[in-house]
Amino acid sequence: MKKHILVVPGDGIGQEVTAVGKKVLERIASKFGHEFTYDEALIGHAAIEATGNPLPEETLAKMKASDAVLFGAVGHPKYDNDPSAKVRPEQGLLKMRKELGLYANLRPIKLFDELLGASSIKPEILKGSDILFFRELTGDIYFGEKGRKNDGDTAYDLAEYSRFEVERIARKAFEAARTRRKKLCSVDKANVLETSRLWREVVQKIAPEYPDVEVEHQFVDAAAMMLIKDPRRFDVVVTANLFGDILTDEASQIAGSMGMLASASVGDSTGVYEPIHGSAHDITGKGVANPLASVLSAALLLDISFGLKEEADTIIAAVDQLLKDGFRTRDIADATTPADKILNTETAGQELLKRLG
């Protein structure tokens, strides 16, 4: 198979972890006889510094011309404490999602048994958890009208959804549930928000088309509580952009660390694959970032965009073996982890490549 992959490291540790993800893709291509070509492009703070634009036209063109995008992270502390900044790294991320039509964000929350102790949640509650989140990605409050009034003393952000937007993400979630445990939980706030009432109405309307899938509706606050209390009750979860952003970060505690969670943003064209962690500038340049989420994102890329399930499973098996062999990065290590088993970004990549053969 011949495919072209665009690597977009972005900001902070994104540059460090995508380097490992790319090496894994190169090893897989060699092992299975594929031909992957690569290019790189700028986004976020790095792009602003170089071009003044968080998503340069050159980057967008390269994205549209590629078969898949391996993405790092976007963000920089200098913007976090400057609400007046007109140009921000995250604007590049949102524009990318809109321009590529990336309306579905898939976030698998699957716990490796060896990491039961890495979470703050009791192992007996966690064991066996396996959740697939579908977060709608191009609507909601992130993309609605926003601004200030009353001399800047009042701010507003408009949350808006169309029936079409809800239906297309719901159908993807229903289809996925059919291939798993046939359970779908739709999360909203229909007791308060009109957008959520439309959301629930649409999900209820199309549910009879999937009679084999058990459907449950939960308010977002109840879902947030149940994720910690009883994560095994969930199979496939579908929710709106804002709720999904928060719930999936909460669910990282199930996996033990954000450094273990991959995601896929897909639509009708080029897919984007990235770890859910941010740019983490507090550890940038120290070489200690966990690259496994980027590696697992590479596995999603092979599976979803290229249909190479065996190759994807090979990567997942290598990660599993790395953990079984007792190796940990700093974020998932505990007091019992021997010093010679604690890996940095580079050595984690090296050990993983050994297990890929």
- Same domain, yes or no: 132 and 223: yes
**E strand or H helix that includes residue 10:** strand 2-10
Which of 255, 280, 304 lies at the terminal end of a domain, its last residue? 255
Ligand-binding site membership of 157 (annotated):
no
Q: Which two three-digit tokens encode residue 334?
A: 């505990």
Q: What is the pLDDT of residue 110?
A: 86
Which of 228, 255, 282 lies at the terminal end of a domain, its last residue? 255
Number of Cβ atoms within 10 Å of the Cβ of 95: 15
Q: What is the pLDDT of residue 256?
A: 82
Ligand-binding site membership of 221 (annotated):
yes
Residue pair 131/231 in contact (Cβ under 8 Å)? The answer is yes
- Cα dihedral sign, 260-11-143-65: negative
Residue pair 259/155 in contact (Cβ under 8 Å)? The answer is no
Residue 218 to residue 230: CA distance in whole angstroms? 14
CATH number, domain with residue 303? 3.40.718.10
Q: What is the pLDDT of residue 185?
A: 98
Residues with active-site annotation: 142, 189, 221, 245, 249
Ligand-binding site membership of 233 (annotated):
no
Q: What is the pLDDT of residue 357?
A: 87
- Residue whose token pair is 């999936």: 248
Q: What is the pLDDT of residue 194?
A: 98
Which of 196, 226, 255 lies at the terminal end of a domain, its last residue? 255
Domain that holds residue 306: 1-106+260-357
Ligand-binding site membership of 245 (annotated):
yes
Ligand-binding site membership of 88 (annotated):
no
Bridge partners of 215? 184
Does residue 296 sit within a domain? Answer: yes
Ligand-binding site membership of 39 (annotated):
no
In which residue ranges of the chain is pLDDT below 70? none
How many domains, the chain? Answer: 2
Phi and psi at residue 85, in whole multiples of 5°? -60, 125
Residue 5 to residue 276: CA distance in whole angstroms? 19
- Same domain, yes or no: 17 and 129: no
Does residue 115 sit within a domain? Answer: no
- Same domain, yes or no: 149 and 80: no
